[in-house]
Structure 1
Amino acid sequence: MEGNEHYVRQILNTLRADPSGVALVHRDTPVIAGDLADSITSAAEAMRGSGVGVGSVVGILTDPNTPATLVARYAANLLGATVVHLFGVNAANPSDLLSAEAQGGIVAEALPAMVVVDAANLERARAIREVPSVRPVLSGLGELGHDVIDLTDSPAGAFRPDAARDGDTAVVTFSSGSTGRPKGTAWSFRVKADMVAASARRAQKATALVTAPLTHSNGFVADDVLVSGGTVVLLPGFDETEVLRSVARYQVNRLAVSAPQLYALADHPETTRTDLSSVRDLFYTGVAASPERVAVAEKVFGSVLMQVYGTSETNIISWLIAGEHTDAGLRATVGRPLEWLRVTIRDPQDERVLPTGETGEVWVNSPWRMDHYWNDPEQTARTVRDGWIRTGDVGHLDDAGYLHLHGRLAGVIKTNGIKVYPVAVERSLLDHPDVAEAAVFGVENSDRVERIHAVVVLREGAGAGPEDLRQHVSSHLSPNHAPADIELRSSLPLIGFGKPDKLRLRADAMARREATHGE
């Protein structure tokens, strides 16, 4: 590998440097740094004894936000094996389990030599192991059964970190694609090593609270915190009360949430009564945020907000830093692109670079991008162009270099002769005092005419109706932007870091239309 040393070895060096420090907190139980390092090297030796090495694939089917998930990834990667996360595709909700059929499909495609499991997922792992043509070895951290190898059996010192090897692909993370078929983004050992080395150089020791799955972008967060000598506090998911309790108890100074979760924290009655003085970085991401809701959050939390924009394929693209949140105009952007990458806006048809101010597709060239889609050369060819990633997002750059997002390229709604960007309508709905969450998308009627649909979650006790919300959008934007249909729900289904599952919502809307024979 060129440049930096193996990324897991960098993390192990930090853990060994302060072996009595607290590396993880899980279910209010601390995991000491030295013990975590021992668990990783012990598991690596046990895997090596089972034939895992460079070129092998190791599947991980454990509850995402547990020490086992990190230990399994680090151990397999120490041997140069590729880790494939099998649990789910939801980047926001750790409890969102893929179906056995979907997991079996990934196993049949990846052909893992080993699958690491925990007690909660053991029966599922035994079932998907029966996929024709592949019977991976099952393993776990502890005694789980006669057919499961105990990765804690080997001595911690039997595997020396200087024996670490690099393969090609380090980690494959699946996300829900625009077609509904999971897409596996493949991250190389080189990128993982570069990112961890950059974190080590910054040496920003932190106590970070993680509520989104370690199998997705928060896996990078864990690497960053651990290599800097910090502590990762793991929660099984996002719950406002539990987040506030944990921040106060563990003096958390770094927290990442989705934009809707930020709104929920800002509105929670316990927030103003909780000691949040330790928080220095409150990152929010996932969807284009409402400037008005962010302004409320900035008043509640102070000058600690950091908006982050990125994709599964590129990692972070841009951010709006804390001091910029007092500017109403800047709150409508996703900040400036990071200095070590390039962003261009291109015509979706001929791919030419567009001038400043013109709207088109966002393209990104970053040293910390994915290599390819796992076993999908056609999708890779459509997305990766000479080092550039086509994000599928629509936006423009202004004269000051700030990036404005308008929605997804595939999600632009053509109605009444104009293009309507769903993000604009969603932001307008979120500006209504009764609205907590909103998702906007297009649905064709029987005449193949596309109409605007919205699914809205109201704040507790709110009484706004669909017509009230239509009038609100019409007066704030235009009558052409007002949704033809507004459905009120108690919650939105999510597929990403706060991203509504619009495929599912669109299918529901079409089924509802067909059932009523209405338009």
Structure 2
Amino acid sequence: MPSNETYVSQILQVISAEPDKVLLSWRDKTLTAAELTTLVRSAAQALHQHAGGTDGGAVVAVLTVTNTGPTLVLRYAANLVGATVVHLHTTNAVDPADHLAADAKLKILRQTGATYLAVDEENVAAARELRERLGTPLTLVALGDLGPDVLDLTAGDPDALDPDAVGIGPDRPAVVTYTSGTTGEPKGIAFDFRARNGFISAGLQMGWRSVYLACLPLSHSSGATADDSLASGGSVVLRDGFDPGDVLRCVERYGITRMLLSPPQLYLLMDHPEVGSTDLSRLQMVTYVGSPASPERLGEAVKVFGEVLIQVYATSEAGFVSMLSPAEHLDPRLRATVGRPIPGWVRITDPDDHRDLPPGETGEVRVRSPFTMSAYVAEPELTARTVQDGWVRTGDLGLVDDDGYLHLRGRIGEVIKTNGIKIHPVTVENAFLAHPDVIQAAAFCVRDRDRIEHLHAAVVLREANTAGPGELAEHIRATLSPKHVPARIHVRRALPLTGVGKPDKARLAVEASG
């Protein structure tokens, strides 16, 4: 696309063909294409005018109920005039109701140099408190009249803005998303306009219209999927979070064709008692992201949903890495992989000396693509350690087989040295999940007082079955080896999850140590 165009311009151009079509639905509200366009252009013009016409100088933090129309409208409006958008509500990529504490929000505002704070009615009181505590100028803005101290962006003139006249540097940050990562300390990951603009090309080339059900927070990968769906000429149904029964009812009611889930959510959906009586015939794309999935459970999912499953391996920093297509899900051998990366995008390197490894050898996955992050916000040293010569170090261990498929083996820091061998937790987890009674599993390290590492595992069983630790230990012994049998197997009703939907192994280790 031309240098002065953004992904927002492209979306607005696509949706202009059907002005009366309902594009966004949330709670009891909807927006048609015409209404969405007017709101975006009005807000963009008001923001641009208030900033004095400065091209791309503003930083707009968004503090709204995450999965609502205003969250998308405000991002589109800010990006249309080259402003950087910072999502302030949550670091959780799975649960939109998981809110950041006030101190964390304040730190992000300071770290990003936010000049505007976009709010809705539910969050305006909290925004005023943040403005008082910040100590630097911060203009509150909203899509409506929320008081004399809040700039109403709907007062802008949608016809007065000429987006083509706004110069937007492709290297300027478009969106900053904060993630808790594995350390728990929020990190701001910036993606520039070049990456964001490039991503939308997928939607423009899809050739079919999707009806996307968004249960995951729009502040993270679900937001990019919403963009992609609108760019395909489709529509988006927004939900406040994931509930398997609600999801199934939405699939029927709205004719959902596309969903984005974490693997644990996929399992809950396929195990729900209503799944057999739900019309799933219009589903065309059920994408799961966030953590490796069980090959055995994926085989069950294929039977439930048909040839619609797509596995996307992506990280917050590296963006899209590889994909396993619906047809490839029919092959049991390929369900143990995360698909094929695009040629030239992935290297497997030795974690210690960083040399490239041949096919079949396990090392660190490094990624270089048009969709990788540009930087960590205000953390140049961390950026330099993570992005080297344009290659993003993922911290994930994996190997590429002779057919070009990528296999993940866990995180570098998760490798457990016990019983005289190195154990990759994913190997043990997949073995547990091959047992018919196990629906979730996490393998993790517990260190004793002498700092000796011990393999533990936590599992969740099907409600109707009662496999005990002894039976499960024998299963691991027979499937892998006696040295892979955990020192202790914890049977739980549920696994705690991190903000990206993965089992919270740090918490499991602490609880097991106590």
**TM-score range, shorter-chain basis?**
over 0.9
Q: In the alignment, is residue 388 of structure 1 matched against residue 396 of structure 2?
A: no
Superposition pairs for residues 324-473 of structure 1, below 5 Å? 324-339=328-343, 341-473=344-476
| SS of match in other structure, 1:107 | helix
Compared CA separation, residues 386 and 429, structure 1 to 2 (3 A): same
How many angstroms does 1:410 deviate by? 1.2
- Residue in structure 2 matching 1:89, options 88, 91, 94: 91
- Residue in structure 1 matching 2:123, options 121, 124, 132: 121
- Other-structure match for 2:296: 292
Structure 1: distance between partners of 2:103 and 2:510: 21
- Residue in structure 1 matching 2:231, options 227, 248, 260: 227
Compared CA separation, residues 147 and 366, structure 1 to 2 (3 A): same
- Other-structure match for 1:39: 39
How many angstroms does 1:271 deviate by? 1.0
Output the amino acid matched with 1:5.
Answer: E
Output the amino acid matched with 1:146.
Answer: P
How many angstroms does 1:33 deviate by? 0.6
- Other-structure match for 1:138: 140
Output the amino acid matched with 2:315.
Answer: T
Output the amino acid matched with 2:237.
Answer: V
| SS of match in other structure, 2:16 | helix
Q: In the alignment, is residue 106 of structure 1 matched against residue 105 of structure 2?
A: no
**CA deviation digits over 1:19-44, x for unaligned, max 9?**
11121111254310110011111111
Counterpart contact for 1:93–1:237, Cα < 8 Å: yes
In percent, how many aligned pairs have the same letter? 51
How many angstroms does 1:3 deviate by? 5.3
| SS of match in other structure, 1:308 | strand
Output the amino acid matched with 1:508.
Answer: E
Tell which deviates more after alignment, 403-412 or 314-323.
Answer: 314-323
| SS of match in other structure, 1:25 | strand
| SS of match in other structure, 2:333 | helix
- Other-structure match for 1:73: 75
How many angstroms does 1:321 deviate by? 0.9
| SS of match in other structure, 2:288 | strand
Counterpart contact for 1:57–1:82, Cα < 8 Å: yes
Output the amino acid matched with 1:107.
Answer: L
**CA deviation digits over 1:378-412, x for unaligned, max 9?**
11111111111111110111111111111011111
- Other-structure match for 1:147: 149
Counterpart contact for 1:91–1:495, Cα < 8 Å: no
Output the amino acid matched with 1:9.
Answer: S
- Other-structure match for 2:315: 311
Gaps of 5+ in 2: none
Structure 2: distance between partners of 1:135 and 1:489: 49
Counterpart contact for 1:285–1:497, Cα < 8 Å: no
| SS of match in other structure, 1:205 | coil
Compared CA separation, residues 455 and 402, structure 1 to 2 (3 A): same
Counterpart contact for 1:4–1:193, Cα < 8 Å: no
How many angstroms does 1:443 deviate by? 1.9
Output the amino acid matched with 1:26.
Answer: W
How many angstroms does 1:16 deviate by? 2.0
Structure 2: distance between partners of 1:458 and 1:144: 49
Structure 1: distance between partners of 2:256 and 2:241: 16
Output the amino acid matched with 1:30.
Answer: T
| SS of match in other structure, 2:155 | coil
Structure 1: distance between partners of 2:84 and 2:447: 42
Q: In the alignment, is residue 249 of structure 1 matched against residue 253 of structure 2?
A: yes
| SS of match in other structure, 1:263 | helix
Structure 2: distance between partners of 1:81 and 1:507: 42
Counterpart contact for 2:5–2:164, Cα < 8 Å: no
- Other-structure match for 2:270: 266
- Other-structure match for 1:515: none
Structure 1: distance between partners of 2:161 and 2:315: 36
How many angstroms does 1:222 deviate by? 1.2
Structure 1: distance between partners of 2:209 and 2:15: 13
Output the amino acid matched with 1:177.
Answer: G
Output the amino acid matched with 1:60.
Answer: V
| SS of match in other structure, 1:351 | coil
| SS of match in other structure, 1:353 | coil
Compared CA separation, residues 128 and 478, structure 1 to 2 (3 A): farther
Output the amino acid matched with 2:439.
Answer: A
Output the amino acid matched with 2:288.
Answer: Y
| SS of match in other structure, 2:432 | helix
Structure 2: distance between partners of 1:469 and 1:406: 21
Compared CA separation, residues 366 and 333, structure 1 to 2 (3 A): same
- Other-structure match for 2:51: 51
Compared CA separation, residues 113 and 452, structure 1 to 2 (3 A): same
**CA deviation digits over 1:412-466, x for unaligned, max 9?**
1111221111111111222233322222211211000011122333333443333
Structure 2: distance between partners of 1:273 and 1:115: 45
**CA deviation digits over 1:281-324, x for unaligned, max 9?**
11112211111110011011111111111111122211111111
Counterpart contact for 2:106–2:134, Cα < 8 Å: no
Tell which deviates more after alignment, 358-367 or 20-29.
Answer: 20-29
- Other-structure match for 1:15: 15
Output the amino acid matched with 2:440.
Answer: E
| SS of match in other structure, 1:473 | helix
How many angstroms does 1:119 deviate by? 2.1
| SS of match in other structure, 1:299 | helix
Counterpart contact for 1:345–1:362, Cα < 8 Å: yes
Output the amino acid matched with 2:60.
Answer: V
- Other-structure match for 1:281: 285
Output the amino acid matched with 1:19.
Answer: P
Structure 1: distance between partners of 2:30 and 2:79: 24
**CA deviation digits over 1:344-378, x for unaligned, max 9?**
11100111100110111111111121111111111
Compared CA separation, residues 143 and 354, structure 1 to 2 (3 A): same
Gaps of 5+ in 1: 513-519
Counterpart contact for 2:497–2:504, Cα < 8 Å: yes
| SS of match in other structure, 2:268 | helix
The count of aligned residue pairs is 510
Counterpart contact for 1:309–1:319, Cα < 8 Å: yes
Output the amino acid matched with 1:131.
Answer: R
Structure 1: distance between partners of 2:464 and 2:28: 34
Q: In the alignment, is residue 182 of structure 1 matched against residue 186 of structure 2?
A: yes
- Other-structure match for 1:237: 241
| SS of match in other structure, 2:57 | coil
Aligned-pair RMSD on alpha carbons? 1.9
Q: In the alignment, is residue 24 of structure 1 matched against residue 24 of structure 2?
A: yes
Counterpart contact for 1:393–1:405, Cα < 8 Å: yes
Q: In the alignment, is residue 477 of structure 1 matched against residue 480 of structure 2?
A: yes
Compared CA separation, residues 49 and 5, structure 1 to 2 (3 A): closer
